[in-house]
Amino acid sequence: MDDIVKKAMAKWPDVPHCYGWLALDARGAWRMRDERAQHLGLPGDKVIQAALLAFINRNYLADERGCWYFQNGPQRVYVNLDTTPFVARTDPQQGLLLQTGAAVGALDAAFLTELGELIVHSGDVVAQVDDRDMATMLACMEIDGAPASDEALMAWLEGGSASLVLRWRGAAVPVQHLARAAVPARFGFTRTPSPA
């Protein structure tokens, strides 16, 4: 967390929290959601200003309830999550990078939802892989030791019992079924925070 943020928190400790105004979409874009966007259920405007993006990324945290927020000076701006607290993209040098720019370490586990969303888990990080990178990730999957064909993968997604493995950066990571609705409970986070 930035020192200027810590000082603002100490100076103004009782600033009310903010809900609904910031979101993280499934492709890792931060979105500002004004009253109109919130009222109409719109995604909001992408944050594109580099300094603001860097500030959000440096001050992005979770509270004890598993609600993620951006500490904006003395105010917590809680984040609506389209998917997981982090979104990962493939990178030729570093493997997977989060929307914050941090590299993902060795994978502890991988999951596929019924919608074909790939969720990766590494240490304290849970991230959905950006759908634009799924072709790269699917090419690294094997079913029962053979490259995963579209047909075999569809059969697996429909409840097949074959062994699905993600071969990623020298490791063979077993892939498990996980219902999309069960992802927040499995990893202890809240997609749409609200006041306690």
Q: In this predicted model, what pLDDT tens digit does every residue of 140-192 receive, in sequence order?
A: 999 999 999 999 999 999 988 899 999 999 999 999 999 999 999 999 999 99
CA distance linking residue 69 with residue 87, whole number of Å: 15
CA distance linking residue 76 with residue 171, whole number of Å: 38
Query: For tokens 């914050």, what's the residue?
Result: 100
Asked if the model's pLDDT at residue 59 lies above 70, the reply is: yes
For residue 6, the model assigns a pLDDT of: 73
Q: Beta-carbon neighbour count of residue 91 at 10 Å? A: 12
10-44 pLDDT per residue, tens: 665 677 899 999 999 999 999 999 999 999 999 99
Q: What share of the chain is helix, strand, coil (3-state, %, to 5)?
A: 25, 35, 40
What is the reported pTM?
0.91
CA distance linking residue 41 with residue 64, whole number of Å: 27
Position 16, amino acid: P
CATH topology for 3-81 is duf1285 like fold (3.10.540)
For residue 47, the model assigns a pLDDT of: 96
What is the phi/psi pair of residue 77, to 5°? -110, 105
Q: Which segments of the chain belong to CATH 3.10.540?
A: 3-81
**Which of 8, 101, 90 is CA-nearest to residue 56?**
101
Please give the helix or strand (H or E) that residue 35 lies within, else none. Answer: helix 35-40
